[in-house]
Amino acid sequence: MVASQTRIETDRLVLRTPELGDAAAIYQGINDFDVVRMLSRAPWPYLPDHADAYVARCQTADPSRDRPLAIVHREHGLIGMTGFHSDEGELFPEVGYWLARDHWGQGYATEAANAALLWAREGWGRRAIRAGHFVENQASGRVLVKAGMLYTGVVMPRQCEARGEAVPSREMIWLA
């Protein structure tokens, strides 16, 4: 199965299906412990082979369940990733994202999250999206709130592969 191509444009960003040539830029941006320690599924150390394997999986993602999206700045190139993933048995897809450290604090995460959620409703037909952020990552919580996500009141442990332990996560929901 070949993943459906998705392209979402904002003033400063293009969100698009990752391409095979993106692996080096993904590795460059995510190969930072301060980035991966706030993600549940990224390993540490993060190696070029991890980026190659990730991009290869993106090429065959089931578009009814998973929509990985490269965050490409119109001037700076690929600066991070966002997208949606559905685990077996989950009612709603989960949105996640990361940005390379050089691009933190400039509104790109909020811009990408807003655009991705709008597309999830209008282009993908989803009526609810889940998210979570590690309790200590308050900046991510602010991004998700600005994008319209609501706290559910649930705090639960989520495994962080990079840290090798479960970390408390505040769970959120977005309703279209």
| Domain extent for 21 | 7-175
pLDDT at 3: 56
The total number of structural domains in the chain stands at: 1
Give the mean pLDDT of 73-96: 95
Please check whether residue 69 lies inside any domain of the structure. Answer: yes
End-to-end CA distance of the chain: 29
Question: CA dihedral defined by 111, 117, 123, 128, rounded to 10 degrees?
Answer: 180
**Residue 175 has what DSSP assignment?**
E
Q: Would residue 2 count as lying in a domain?
A: no
Measured CA to CA in angstroms, residue 175 lies from 42, 80, 152 at distances of 27, 25, 12
pTM for the whole structure: 0.96
Whether residue 1 lies inside any domain: the answer is no
Q: Per residue in 8-38, pLDDT tens?
A: 999 999 999 999 999 999 999 999 999 999 9
Residue 62's CATH number: 3.40.630.30
pLDDT (tens digit per residue) in 93-120: 999 999 999 999 999 999 999 999 999 9
Return the H-helix or E-strand segment holding 152: strand 150-160
